[in-house]
Amino acid sequence: MSCLPSNLEGAVQQSGQATADFVSSGGMRAIVELLIPQLQFLDDEGAQAELWELSRIFLDTLIEETGGQRVKAVFPDAGAAALLKYQWKDATFGFSSLGDRKPVDAEDEIIVMVVPDYQMLEYVQRIASDLSDDPPRPLIMWNPRLVSEDVGVGINVRRLRRNFLSTFTFVYSMRPLPTGAVFRCYPGLWKVFYDDKERPNRYLLAKEQISRPDAEELEIIFGGLEDEGEKGTSLFDQAAGIFSSLNRFMKVISR
C-alpha cells in the first residue's frame, strides 16, 4: 500500500483501503485527495459522470474494508444526490447533500463528503461539529475543494478555514508536480518522487518524511535537478510544465 498505484481505479481503491485503516485505528477526520486531471476539471457532464463513478469505487471499497459499516455519502447538492440515488439503486450506502436539513442520521457510522467546495464551507463545518458530539463518528472528505482563489475572502475567513482543515489527516494524497510527484498512503510516510531520466514516464524516490512537504521543502528537494535556465521560465511555461507532468503521471498509473 506504500507504492504508487498501477492505474486510476487502483488509486481510488487504494485510497479507500487507507481510509479504512485510518478509521479502524480510531481516526476521526480524514482527507483523500487525488489531484489529477479527471478529478479537477469538471466543466462538462462527462467529467462529472466519471467523478461520481470514481467516488462510487471509493465508497464501495470503504464499506468492504470496514466490514460493512453504515456509510453516508454527502454530495455537494441535492440534485446530484437525487440523480445518483436513482442511478445507483444497488448502493449499500446512504445519500444526502450538504444543504439538507438533516444530512446525517443517528444510525450513520461513517460520513463521506464527496467533493465539498468552498461555497459550502459553512455547512461542512456544521456537520463536522455535529459529528464531534457523543458518540463521535469519522468524517471523510473525498477530494474537497475548500480553497478558493481567495478573491474577496478576508484573512479571518482564510485563517478559520486553515484551522479547520488542520484538524484533518491526509490519509491519501496523489499530487503530480512539474518534475515529479508527492504521494502519501496511510499509514505510510509522505514520499516525494522525481522523474527518472533514464526511463521515461517512471519515477524515482527522492525523499520520505513524516509531515507533508511544503513548497520550500519541495524547492530544496528539486532544486538540484533544475538548471539555471529553468528558474527564469514564464508563468505560461510553468503552467505548460505542470500540464505535461499531469499527462506523464497519468501514463504512469495507467500502465
* CATH number for position 18: 3.40.50
Where is pLDDT greater, at 48 or 90? 90
Same domain assignment for residues 166 and 191: no
Q: Percent of the chain at pLDDT above 90?
A: 60
For 63, the enclosing helix (H) or strand (E) is helix 45-65
* 137-155 pLDDT per residue, tens: 999 999 998 876 555 667 8
CB-count burial class (<10 Å; 0-12, 13-18, 19+) for 45: exposed
Tell me which residue range forms the domain holding 210. Answer: 177-253
User: Position of cell 514564464?
Assistant: 234
* Region of poorest pLDDT, from 24-28, 77-81, 91-95, 195-199: 195-199
Same domain assignment for residues 126 and 148: yes
Same domain assignment for residues 95 and 119: yes
User: Position of cell 459553512?
Assistant: 122
Does residue 1 lie in a domain region?
no
Same domain assignment for residues 166 and 50: yes
Q: How many domains does the chain have?
A: 2
Apex 210 CA angle, 209 and 211, nearest 5: 100
Q: What is the pLDDT of residue 38?
A: 64
Same domain assignment for residues 221 and 129: no
> Has residue 229 got a pLDDT over 70?
no
Spacing of C-alpha 141 from chain mean position: 7
Q: Percent of the chain at pLDDT above 70?
A: 82
Same domain assignment for residues 48 and 128: yes
3-state DSSP of 174-221: EEEECCEEEEEECCCCEEEEEECCCCCCCEEEEEEECCCCCHHHHHHH
As a whole number of angstroms, the distance between CA 145 and CA 134 comes to 28
Which residue type does 34 have? Answer: L
Q: What is the pLDDT of residue 233?
A: 45
> Has residue 250 got a pLDDT over 60?
no
Does residue 111 lie in a domain region?
yes
Same domain assignment for residues 84 and 107: yes
The dihedral over CA atoms of 37, 43, 48, 49, expressed in degrees to the nearest 10, equals -110
Q: What is the pLDDT of residue 226?
A: 60
Mean pLDDT to the nearest integer, 85-96: 98
Mean pLDDT, rounded, of the chain? 85
As a whole number of angstroms, the distance between CA 159 and CA 83 comes to 35
Where is pLDDT greater, at 250 or 70? 70
Does residue 55 lie in a domain region?
yes
Mean pLDDT to the nearest integer, 154-180: 89
Q: What is the pLDDT of residue 153?
A: 64
Please state at what angle helix 235-253 crosses helix 8-24, rounded to 10 degrees. Answer: 80
